[in-house]
Amino acid sequence: MAAQRHYDELARQLSAFGAVKRDMARILPHDCPAGSAAVLALLKRYGDMRMSRMAELMAVDMSVASRHVAHTADRGWIERRPDPADRRSRILTLTAEGHAQMDELDARTTELLAERLSDWSDDEVNQLIALMTRLRDSFGDCRTTASRTPLPVAAQDSTPTTRTPA
């Protein structure tokens, strides 16, 4: 197990990672906010699905997923078709326009990453991918963390700690 100071630094770096996400969000087209991009990316990756599955994969409440889905449907990027197994449910499907939008998003993202990581080797990029995948796997479905056994609270120190971005 890593030393406490390593976990402190990791927490600080994860907090500062918001700057990377904001930079990536800046490249999105003005009519495609991050939530809509997530809907499109999930449909591209996993294929057609129900709204409940979309909310689960996004790790958000159904009402939040519904807003993002409505935005993408209003732009013609997805269709909401009746579920043949349950006519009360809808199946979300990427349209041709949605595939074109995803191609654009993929190109923009790839260009940004290639620019920002131009001094990284292929091995370093592969190592980052592997470690980020492992980190995500360690957290599992973030929506279930509330039901996990709480971690023990460390003895209170008289010196308050504050995490600041890197």
What confidence tens digit (pLDDT) does each residue in 56-91 have?
Answer: 999 899 999 999 999 999 999 999 999 888 888 899
Average pLDDT of the segment spanning 131-153 = 68
The stretch 86-103 carries a mean pLDDT of 94
Q: What is the pLDDT of residue 106?
A: 95
Which of 30, 44, 38 has the alpha carbon at shortest distance from 57?
38
What confidence score (pLDDT) does residue 141 get? Answer: 61
For residue 134, pLDDT over 90 is answered with: yes
Instruction: Give the contacts of 48 (CB within 8 A, at least 6 positions apart).
Output: 91, 92, 93
- Across the chain, mean pLDDT equals 86
Residue 135 clears pLDDT 60, i.e. is over it: yes
Token pair listed for 69: 């889905």
Residue of 40, 23, 20, 21 whose CA lies nearest to 31: 40
pLDDT tens track for 104-131: 999 999 999 999 999 999 999 999 999 9
CB of 77 closer than 8 Å to CB of 29 = no
Task: State the pLDDT at residue 133.
Answer: 92
In this prediction the pTM is 0.76
With a cut of 80, say whether residue 163 has pLDDT above it. no
Residues making up the chain, counted from first to last? 166
Region 86-107: mean pLDDT is 94
